[in-house]
A and B are shown apart, each in its own frame.
Chain A
């Protein structure tokens, strides 16, 4: 896979200038030293709760934001640094984005065919006739009737609109698509149809996806590898089965434990307490230490970095450093420590 890496992200930092207290400009650091690769035909899942920075990362990858640090290479070309503009222009037609809300992503006054053809019109590479044929072909690809081109978005349901958005994303035959919560606005029965469509299209065209989602079950269904984000950093990245079956990072464990299962007989694990810390006043050391049942004194001081921990996995946690620790032992640590410290929750104190 190494020679077939489409996306290469190294030490990505992102900060936004915001109005802080008394109107003074403050930097809000939303991403901290993000590194990952995405191979050809691969789907990397990016999961995390609100404010973890997953959408910001996705937007940087399609060139919508310029990062404040680190490097991003797409198709081997850096889109950070002095060559950003030229290289973005060169790769742009191979990048696409599918947003969460198909109602907001389509212009209600454009006919569906014109929405789908917009990337083609902007690229200006096709004759009118080829363009219209291509629109029909795209509609067929996403499972919509060919005559949909003449209709307007309001005539379609949420699931069908997401198909239209996907058809538009495919218009220029991209190689890499960032899907930002593409099914979270859809009902369960529609969600399955769209997930299947995305997987079929990947098999057919060898697409690579960055699949951003908060629904861990959906992510398991569509991805190959998964990166878990917490408060702006990746805490664990691994092949999906490794991650779901033996989560290493205490946050990954807490996240998986918290997902409600359609099984009334399930013995519910202890619920983790506390909330995601404020990015304006992040806790020192590991950002998860304020909620972590295994936090050690060193977690309050040292920021853990992602390291290889076997099985193609990387984890950023002090529990898995040094020879004295057997990685799999962490899962057996007493679970009763979970959620004990909501009184000391820093997100509340920072207010």
Chain B
């Protein structure tokens, strides 16, 4: 954990209760988010990217989930063990979240004004009139035209892109230090996606907050993040600055993921496809969880689970052969 860390996640291991007992969804997830940083988390379904984000705010249902190990340190305390009251203060005020589907995140029977005011009244104790004024300013800030009229409307009157702007307005209402955006543009059309990503970029610069963007889309990650964490089957497999990751990925999964993306710039013919399928969370796999699908698998990969090893000041890789041959420092 460095001095400028805003949030520091150490060895986060989350389990869920299933019919067959406790299933490990993510294991040994460790990374820091620095003040003002812009971290992209990329992975396919079941990779654990959303579980990681929800754990940071302890938003998993109690009873069916548990933190087997690890910590999430923010402002001198461990959010995994802090009292619920503390978390309620932190959620929305210090760390805010935007989810994928803006329609199911907004309450259909409350006006936009009500929903933005809720956060303001709760955390800042402002009056209703002041909150309404602030809501209009926030709608302006997320570039909703005609904000003073829109503020009194209900979510169903807004398009998907406008709803996501409202979600972002709610999230930034209290000027959080970290905004977690979980697939914020996945449900949107591509031209609207470009608008929302641009808005998030501008807001990050204007408000100086850190953003953690979760996406399955390498294109979105490349255009948004400064640093990228690649997850596979509940583990971080690679963590690198964005230009390094896209120029010289080190983990075979990262390579495969990039190769299997069809390119907009052409190159017809068959696509590279990673063989096999993503394993279930409780599927027993000896050693590296990517091993069964890996083109470069060796005996050592099955013998022991690889560790996430630093291969430079800012680059970490979870791959035994790659970290052995690349000369660790």
Q: Are B219 and A220 in touch, CB under 8 angstroms?
A: no
Closest residue of chain A to B192, judged by CB?
Answer: A275
Closest residue of chain B to A221, judged by CB?
Answer: B262
Q: Which of A147-177 contact B (CB under 8 A)?
A: 157-160
Q: Which of the residues A214, A221, A266 comes within 8 Å of B223, measured between beta carbons?
A: A266
A260-B217, A264-B246, A265-B243 known; A50-B189 Cβ under 8 A: yes
Q: Are A220 and B262 in touch, CB under 8 angstroms?
A: yes
- Encode A258-302 as 1/0 by CB contact (under 8 A) with B: 111111111010011101100000000000000000000000000
Q: How many A residues touch B, CB cutoff 8 Å?
A: 51
Q: Which of B134-188 contact A (CB under 8 A)?
A: 143, 145-146, 150, 153, 157, 159-162
CA gap between A261 and B218 in the complex, in Å: 8
B82 within 8 A of A: no
Q: Are B277 and A258 in touch, CB under 8 angstroms?
A: no
Does more than half of chain A's interface fall in helix, strand or loop, or is it mixed?
helix
Q: Are B161 and A160 in touch, CB under 8 angstroms?
A: no
B3 within 8 A of A: no
CA gap between A251 and B79 in the complex, in Å: 47
Q: Are B222 and A49 in touch, CB under 8 angstroms?
A: no
Q: Which of the residues A241, A257, A271 comes within 8 Å of B266, measured between beta carbons?
A: A241
Top 7 closest A-B pairs, CB basis? A260-B219, A49-B189, A187-B44, A192-B273, A221-B262, A192-B260, A258-B194
Can you list 21 A-B contacts (CB < 8 A)?
A49-B191, A49-B192, A50-B160, A187-B45, A189-B44, A189-B278, A190-B44, A190-B278, A192-B262, A196-B273, A254-B191, A260-B217, A262-B218, A262-B221, A262-B222, A263-B222, A264-B242, A271-B194, A271-B198, A275-B161, A343-B145
Q: Which of B196-240 contact A (CB under 8 A)?
A: 197-198, 216-224
A337 within 8 A of B: no
A190-B277, A196-B273, A271-B198 known; A347-B264 Cβ under 8 A: no
**In whole Å, how far is A249's beta carbon from the nearest beta carbon of chain B?**
14
Q: Are A221 and B268 in touch, CB under 8 angstroms?
A: yes
B193 within 8 A of A: yes
Residues of the A chain whose Cβ atoms lie less than 8 Å from the Cβ of B153:
351
Q: Which of the residues B191, B220, B264, B274 comes within 8 Å of A192, measured between beta carbons?
A: B274
Closest residue of chain A to B40, judged by CB?
Answer: A264
Residues of the A chain whose Cβ atoms lie less than 8 Å from the Cβ of B221:
262
**In whole Å, how far is A12's beta carbon from the nearest beta carbon of chain B?**
23
- Encode B118-146 as 1/0 by CB contact (under 8 A) with A: 00000000000000000000000001011
B190 within 8 A of A: yes
B28 within 8 A of A: no
A217 within 8 A of B: yes
Residues of the A chain whose Cβ atoms lie less than 8 Å from the Cβ of B190:
49, 214, 216, 255, 258-259
Q: Are B271 and A196 in touch, CB under 8 angstroms?
A: yes
CA gap between A342 and B199 in the complex, in Å: 13
**In whole Å, how far is B27's beta carbon from the nearest beta carbon of chain A?**
20
A256 within 8 A of B: yes
Residues of the A chain whose Cβ atoms lie less than 8 Å from the Cβ of B222:
260-264, 266
Q: Are A221 and B271 in touch, CB under 8 angstroms?
A: yes
Q: Are B223 and A260 in touch, CB under 8 angstroms?
A: yes
CA gap between A343 and B140 in the complex, in Å: 11
Q: Are B261 and A217 in touch, CB under 8 angstroms?
A: yes
**In whole Å, how far is B151's beta carbon from the nearest beta carbon of chain A?**
13
- Encode B243-274 as 1/0 by CB contact (under 8 A) with A: 10010000000001110111111101011111
Q: Are B271 and A189 in touch, CB under 8 angstroms?
A: no
**In whole Å, how far is B37's beta carbon from the nearest beta carbon of chain A?**
15
CA gap between A246 and B67 in the complex, in Å: 53
Residues of the B chain whose Cβ atoms lie less than 8 Å from the Cβ of A49:
189-192
A303 within 8 A of B: no
CA gap between A27 and B194 in the complex, in Å: 32
**In whole Å, how far is B259's beta carbon from the nearest beta carbon of chain A?**
8
CA gap between A342 and B140 in the complex, in Å: 12
Q: Are A195 and B45 in touch, CB under 8 angstroms?
A: no
CA gap between A188 and B261 in the complex, in Å: 7
Q: Which of A7-66 contact B (CB under 8 A)?
A: 49-50
Closest residue of chain B to A183, judged by CB?
Answer: B262
Closest residue of chain B to A351, judged by CB?
Answer: B157
CA gap between A345 and B262 in the complex, in Å: 33
Q: Are B264 and A244 in touch, CB under 8 angstroms?
A: yes
Residues of the B chain whose Cβ atoms lie less than 8 Å from the Cβ of A93:
none
Q: Which of A90-128 contact B (CB under 8 A)?
A: none
**In whole Å, how far is A17's beta carbon from the nearest beta carbon of chain B?**
21
Residues of the B chain whose Cβ atoms lie less than 8 Å from the Cβ of A262:
218-219, 221-222, 246, 258, 261
CA gap between A164 and B265 in the complex, in Å: 31
Q: Are A258 and B263 in touch, CB under 8 angstroms?
A: no
B195 within 8 A of A: yes
A201 within 8 A of B: no
Residues of the B chain whose Cβ atoms lie less than 8 Å from the Cβ of A196:
270-271, 273
Residues of the A chain whose Cβ atoms lie less than 8 Å from the Cβ of B161:
275
Residues of the B chain whose Cβ atoms lie less than 8 Å from the Cβ of A141:
none
Q: Are B277 and A159 in touch, CB under 8 angstroms?
A: yes
A218 within 8 A of B: yes
A191 within 8 A of B: yes
Q: Are B278 and A187 in touch, CB under 8 angstroms?
A: yes
Q: Are A260 and B273 in touch, CB under 8 angstroms?
A: no
Closest residue of chain B to A185, judged by CB?
Answer: B45
CA gap between A258 and B185 in the complex, in Å: 12
Q: Given known contacts A191-B260, A221-B268, what 9 new A-B pairs fall within 8 Å (CB)?
A: A157-B277, A158-B45, A188-B260, A244-B264, A258-B194, A261-B265, A262-B222, A263-B246, A275-B159
CA gap between A348 and B163 in the complex, in Å: 12
Q: Which of the residues A195, A214, A257, A347 comes within 8 Å of B159, measured between beta carbons?
A: A347
A49-B190, A189-B273 known; A157-B278 Cβ under 8 A: yes
**In whole Å, how far is B44's beta carbon from the nearest beta carbon of chain A?**
4
Residues of the A chain whose Cβ atoms lie less than 8 Å from the Cβ of B162:
275, 348
**In whole Å, how far is A184's beta carbon from the nearest beta carbon of chain B?**
10
